[in-house]
Amino acid sequence: MIEIWAVGGYSEVGSKNMTAIKVDDEVIILDMGYNVSKIVEYEGKEGEEIVKLPYEKMLEMDAIPNDSLFHEEWGDKVKAIVIGHAHIDHCGAVRLLAPRYKKAPVIATPFTIEVIRNLLEGKKIPNKLIPLNPSSKYKISDKITIEMVNMTHSTLQTVAVVIHTPYGAIVYSNDFKLDNHPILGKKPDYRRLQEISKRGILVQISDTTRIENFGHTPSETIAREMLKDVLLRYINRDNGIVVTTFSSHIARLSSLINIARQMGRVPVLVGRSISNYISAAKRAHIFSTNAKVIGFKKQMHKFLRKVQKDKGKYLVIATGNQGEPDSVLSRMAKDEFPFKFEQDDVVIFSCTVIPTPISEANRNILEKRLLEKNVRIFRDVHVSGHAAREDQKDFLNLLKPKHYVPTHGGMDKLAIAADISQTLGYELNKTVHILQDGKRLVID
């Protein structure tokens, strides 16, 4: 018998992803993520890094999944913890939660494992960390084998985790987009997914983050062209240009490095989290660059003093796309570095604002500061990393699961997913199931 426990991630976007699958008497945990807005709020207010806080405090803050009841009831049955990709709302809580299931190894693609190592900041956890490449399998027990199937998203080595069981396959694709022309890495492994589908997929669990968007989410190559369209207008100019994007978006960073060179500018990546992600990618042998990467504050001061003297020479790629108060861009805007924004300098936000009150407020403050200095602002030079409505249909049609469990959204998004699946023949509460955090579902 298969049972699903929606521990977290089913009640809002970007928050506390954690699902458990019980196959008879063995349990696999999928993802252990942070509640990102709580982290941003805490770090902004306290000026202290979240990594210093213990489990109890994080639970009290609602910053990690509440696994108390789950731990009590299923804790001793957990055989493995599998992490689907490197975003912190999926892997951030590993350092606090995984030790509670200490016999279970943490399995993820090499890049994700390296990002988890960064998040541990040298702290040891009792769990074994097992890197597993896309397109490979790992046998957990006589009944359970894990397979990583390559997918596309906004960070590298994102996979659909497939749990092969005697009752059929369970496909966990949280998060995903269908990008047939990715900048780095391969397109989704449709052929393998089709093979698995032919043999029978019992359950599909997948994200609904952008399901309200009509049509298809454009490829990452479109984001590159959008950036070129803005940036190449500034060739042969001597104004300051700062671009900010998600630090984990290695493909986007790679495009920016190339465009900077095309402009005749020197690309420099500035910020601790950018530096962490770039070093994880390098250790996982999936991306390396000879562009300068600056992760320490002292070096940032030194470098930005140089930029101030010769603004037209550099393209600064900095942290702070959500206006996080302690990020490089926010601190530049507050004149905390020897760099002064002035008339006609350019700031490009290669991202969208995450629709949470804290991110919206932070970005407002940052943009106001920049506008006061007459900086030119370009917003939303970006494409999403999540599947839109028609992609969602295509994915369901490809996998043809017997049961569909949408996740990674509030009730509004999960309801759209249920509606869409009903047009494809699924029936609410019979073959499409809306779960909320803490709910359980028996599949028979």
Instruction: Tell me how far, at minimum, the Cβ of 212 lies from Zn ion, in Å.
Output: 17
Query: CA-CA distance, 163 to 201, in Å (whole number)?
Result: 10
Instruction: Tell me how far, at minimum, the Cβ of 296 lies from Zn ion, in Å.
Output: 27
User: Is there a cis peptide before residue 412, judged by omega within 30 degrees of 0?
Assistant: no
* Contact flags string 303-342 toward Zn ion, x per CB under 5 A: ----------------------------------------
In the complex with Zn ion, which residue's Cβ is closer, 13 or 366? 13
User: Segment contacting Zn ion (CB under 5 A): 62-70, 85-93, 359-367, 375-383?
Assistant: 85-93
Instruction: Tell me how far, at minimum, the Cβ of 7 lies from Zn ion, in Å.
Output: 17
Instruction: Tell me how far, at minimum, the Cβ of 87 lies from Zn ion, in Å.
Output: 4
In the complex with Zn ion, which residue's Cβ is closer, 13 or 316? 13
In the complex with Zn ion, which residue's Cβ is closer, 95 or 386? 386
Instruction: Tell me how far, at minimum, the Cβ of 225 lies from Zn ion, in Å.
Output: 23
Task: Pick out residues in 340-359 that bind Zn ion (CB under 5 A).
Answer: none
In the complex with Zn ion, which residue's Cβ is closer, 174 or 255? 174
Task: Pick out residues in 167-186 that bind Zn ion (CB under 5 A).
Answer: 175
In the complex with Zn ion, which residue's Cβ is closer, 231 or 253? 253
Assess contact for 143 and 26: CB atoms under 8 A: yes
Query: CA-CA distance, 128 to 105, in Å (whole number)?
Result: 5
Q: What region does 121 belong to: left with phi over 0, alpha with psi -120 to 50, or beta? A: left
User: Segment contacting Zn ion (CB under 5 A): 79-87, 298-306, 337-345, 357-365?
Assistant: 79-87
Residue 87 is a binding residue for Zn ion (CB under 5 A): yes
* Contact flags string 119-158 toward Zn ion, x per CB under 5 A: ----------------------------------------
By CB under 5 A, the count of residues binding Zn ion is 2
Query: CA-CA distance, 190 to 135, in Å (whole number)?
Result: 12
Instruction: Tell me how far, at minimum, the Cβ of 174 lies from Zn ion, in Å.
Output: 8
- Distance, first Cα to last Cα, the chain: 7
Count Cβ atoms below 10 Å from residue 123 Cβ, excluding itself.
9
Instruction: Tell me how far, at minimum, the Cβ of 175 lies from Zn ion, in Å.
Output: 4
User: Segment contacting Zn ion (CB under 5 A): 82-90, 176-184, 228-236, 295-303?
Assistant: 82-90
Residue 433 is a binding residue for Zn ion (CB under 5 A): no
Instruction: Tell me how far, at minimum, the Cβ of 13 lies from Zn ion, in Å.
Output: 10
Instruction: Tell me how far, at minimum, the Cβ of 116 lies from Zn ion, in Å.
Output: 14
User: Segment contacting Zn ion (CB under 5 A): 69-77, 81-89, 284-292, 342-350?
Assistant: 81-89
In the complex with Zn ion, which residue's Cβ is closer, 87 or 210? 87
In the complex with Zn ion, which residue's Cβ is closer, 2 or 93? 93
Site residues, Zn ion (CB under 5 A): 87, 175
